[in-house]
Amino acid sequence: MKKTSISFGLVNIPVAINPIIKNNDISFNQLHKKCNSRIKYVKYCPHCKKEVKQADIIRGYEYQSDKYITLTDEEFDRLKSEDEKTIEVVGFINLNEVDPVYYEKSYVVTVNNKNKAYSLFKEALLKTKKVALAKTVIGTKFYYVILRLTEEALVMNTLYFYEEVMIPEAVVNVKYTKKELDLAIELINSLSMKFKPEELIDEYQDKVKKAIDTKVNGKEIKKTKRKSEKSIKDLMTALELSLKNV
């Protein structure tokens, strides 16, 4: 949990931020194939020819070949302005103006609901149907962020910068028939659904868990059968068969 505040004009709202996402992937240790002993990672200095403790490691930037300047945590902290230590709102935008490709990490913003300034901020967002564009520093990294209301909470999304997003050039459209378009629309409509994240299960991780249980019980893991897929090159035929299989 990181305690900070939202700066909204001259209004200040004390908040705390917590990452929303947790990694549910099953983790494995690396073992020596010969004896199944766990592998250890040693941080080693080739110049001093000895193992180095974490407390003796600092960060350095290579500005020329084998030449480094170093920056301490204190020096990084000096680069932060007082404003950057808060979540400073710089403006308000429509959420649909932000392509989801720019979203990086998600945080839940916890606030005292009895805080009058927060209640006002929340109601203003609801009435205007806007989201706040703000800037802040998390760790040593500067971010622009989106503050938006969900049904459950106030959420903060960090954003990638424009130069970080590698959007490919637009693909040249190829001509298609009206019948093909009608079938494509019909297929989309037949597969339309509501987004229910609680129903989206990590099928691969489930298989890994079952495989672990199988091995623990001394049994052999059987190969998963692949579904047979027909290779259909004709677009019209593929669309028609797809509709039949819905």
Per-residue confidence (pLDDT) for residue 221, from 0 to 100 = 86
What residues in the chain have per-residue pLDDT under 70? 80-84, 227-231
Per-residue confidence (pLDDT) for residue 82, from 0 to 100 = 63
Instruction: Give this prediction's pTM.
Output: 0.77
pLDDT 10s digits, 121-148: 999 999 999 999 999 988 878 999 999 9
Q: Name the region of 240 (left: φ>0; alpha: ψ -120 to 50; beta: rest).
A: alpha
Instruction: Give the 3-state DSSP-derived string for 76-134, with helices as H, strands as E and coil as C.
Output: HHHCCCCHHHCEEEEEEECHHHCCHHHEEEEEEEEECCCCHHHHHHHHHHHHHCCEEEE
